[in-house]
């Protein structure tokens, strides 16, 4: 009899213990100590528990209750929060356990992503060429001295072999935690902290050498009238769609945030993607906004820097205008609501180096977009000149621009360069341009009977001198395709 009772006890223990363990309430890795919660928005807290288990979330004076669904998933929404530098605690209470999250701040949250130029970290700087302008060790010095307590970072590791977010969670900034983190992300966060006086958290999730397709969920391509017929076995041109989105982005949905920063496209140029990059990028932006269920989330992105792609020994040879075509695609995406673009044609020391050094300047230009568009700053010029219209008279061509700031000028005091006009033989030849009343004026010369076509900076290594007086460069363009 005793043996039978002992046997039944063992069986019950084997059954009950796993159930007890299973019913532990849990949180995703994106929710943890040291995190920054987004101010001014409802904040979602979510996780897992036993089916039908009651869960309570306590934060400040809020007390939110819910019940896990049949799959064990649960979520609550905290009411809008006010920014604070004072560390807060969050409690998640389940039936069998309690989770206490500490050192939480409330402020601004941004997700930064892309390929190697966004991945380019503070500590990686010695591996790349040092900048030739200013202090060559500026980036490294900032890395060594960074200890801002109100900046927090969640670094996503480059790992596709895990079912959970490959990250150690939110961390405070110091020399060690900053090692792998996006330099652009850090400098952007630092600018916001200094400008807004609120905590800033940023998520750094990038992977060098990756095309835009891998960052876009496959359902976006499957539902696209442009691309669905070209998708085979979840691949587009042999690229697996959505792989990095699913592993390195989706596990963070629906973490509340202000917006996205994006720096990518080099691999798409290398792979010969010049005709449909704009469609891919539009799909990408729409899919991320859809994932977060917010069509107003801002997307601020970086236009690719000049680089001699045509001189690289790639499997697919490129011509000198492959990059300008992608520049054009990137510029066209500014027509998408709540987007903004940073031009980098003035930040290249060597057109054979695909990794420009001046990440802090790029971050400052991205921050200008955010400060004006998201934080209500006025009287701050946030974009360089963008071609708007062309007017043709008998003897001259007049080009007008948006975003001229306090006026057009050049960064070297000379007349604007890199302007070309099509001649009677169909060849684009260099022409002289002048600035008059914040417009570009080009004399037609002997081409009065030729349909006018103008190109500006239309070369992969073009580094034009045209800027506005705030120092922001003009984007390359052509007046007709």
pLDDT digits (tens, 9 = 90+) for 387-411: 999 999 889 999 999 999 999 999 9
CATH fold for domain 106-373: Rossmann fold (3.40.50)
Tell me whether domains 22-104 and 386-478 share a fold. Answer: yes
User: Which whole number is the average pLDDT over 311-317?
Assistant: 83
Model pLDDT for residues 75-125, shown as the tens digit of each residue: 999 999 999 999 999 999 999 999 999 999 999 999 999 999 999 998 876
Which architecture does CATH list for 22-104? Sandwich (2.60)
Residue 15, pLDDT > 50, answer: no
Model pLDDT for residues 329-357, shown as the tens digit of each residue: 999 999 999 999 999 999 999 999 999 99
| Per-residue pLDDT, 16 | 45
Residue 231, pLDDT > 60, answer: yes
Residue 295, pLDDT > 90, answer: yes
Model pLDDT for residues 50-64, shown as the tens digit of each residue: 999 999 999 999 999
Quote the CA–CA distance of 125 and 146 in Å, as a whole number: 15
Quote the CA–CA distance of 296 and 280 in Å, as a whole number: 19
Quote the CA–CA distance of 382 and 367 in Å, as a whole number: 8
Model pLDDT for residues 116-143, shown as the tens digit of each residue: 999 999 887 667 888 999 999 999 899 9
- Global confidence as pTM: 0.94
User: Which whole number is the average pLDDT over 24-36?
Assistant: 98
CATH fold for domain 386-478: Immunoglobulin-like (2.60.40)
User: Which whole number is the average pLDDT over 364-374?
Assistant: 99
Mean pLDDT of the chain: 94
Q: Where are the domains of the chain?
A: 22-104, 106-373, 386-478
| Per-residue pLDDT, 22 | 53
């Amino acid at each position: 009899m005793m043996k039978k009772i002992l046997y039944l006890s063992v069986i019950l223990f084997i059954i009950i213990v796993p159930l007890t363990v299973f019913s532990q309430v849990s949180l995703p890795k994106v929710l943890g100590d040291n995190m920054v919660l987004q101010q001014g928005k409802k904040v979602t807290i979510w996780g897992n528990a036993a089916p039908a288990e009651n869960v309570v979330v306590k934060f400040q004076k809020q007390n939110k209750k819910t019940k896990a669904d049949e799959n064990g998933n649960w979520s609550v929404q905290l009411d809008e929060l006010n920014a604070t530098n004072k560390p807060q605690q969050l409690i998640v209470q389940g039936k069998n356990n309690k989770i206490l999250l500490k050192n939480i701040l409330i402020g601004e949250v941004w997700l930064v992503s892309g390929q190697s130029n966004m991945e380019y970290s503070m500590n990686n700087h010695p591996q790349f060429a040092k900048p030739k302008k200013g202090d060559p060790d500026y980036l490294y010095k900032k890395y060594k001295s960074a200890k801002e307590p109100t900046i927090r970072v969640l670094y996503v590791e480059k790992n596709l072999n895990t079912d959970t977010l490959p990250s150690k969670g939110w961390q405070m900034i110091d020399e060690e935690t900053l090692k792998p983190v996006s330099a652009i992300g850090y400098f952007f966060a630092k600018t916001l902290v200094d400008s807004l006086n609120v905590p800033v958290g940023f998520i750094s999730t990038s992977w060098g050498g990756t095309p835009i397709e891998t960052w876009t969920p496959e359902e976006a391509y499957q539902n696209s009238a442009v691309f669905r017929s070209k998708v085979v076995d979840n691949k587009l041109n042999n690229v697996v769609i959505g792989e990095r989105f699913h592993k390195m982005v989706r596990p963070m949905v629906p973490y509340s945030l202000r917006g996205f920063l994006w720096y990518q496209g080099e691999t798409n140029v290398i792979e010969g993607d010049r005709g449909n990059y704009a469609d891919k990028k539009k799909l990408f932006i729409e899919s991320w906004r859809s994932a977060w269920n917010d069509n107003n989330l801002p997307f601020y992105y970086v236009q690719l820097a000049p680089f001699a792609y045509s001189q690289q020994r790639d499997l697919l040879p490129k011509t000198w205008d492959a990059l300008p075509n992608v520049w054009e695609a990137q510029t066209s995406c500014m027509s998408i609501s709540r987007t903004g673009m940073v031009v980098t044609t003035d930040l290249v020391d060597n057109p054979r180096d695909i990794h420009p050094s001046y990440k802090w300047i790029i971050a400052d230009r991205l921050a200008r977009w955010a400060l004006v568009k998201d934080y209500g700053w006025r009287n701050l010029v946030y974009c360089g000149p963008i071609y708007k219209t062309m007017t043709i008279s008998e003897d001259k061509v007049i080009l007008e621009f948006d975003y001229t700031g306090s006026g057009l000028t050049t960064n070297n005091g000379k007349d604007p360069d890199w302007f070309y006009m099509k001649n009677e033989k169909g060849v684009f030849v260099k022409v002289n341009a002048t600035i008059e009343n914040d417009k570009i004026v080009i004399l037609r010369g002997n081409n009065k009977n030729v349909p006018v076509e103008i190109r500006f900076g239309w070369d992969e290594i073009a580094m034009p001198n045209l800027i506005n007086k705030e120092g922001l460069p003009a984007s390359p363009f052509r007046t007709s395709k």
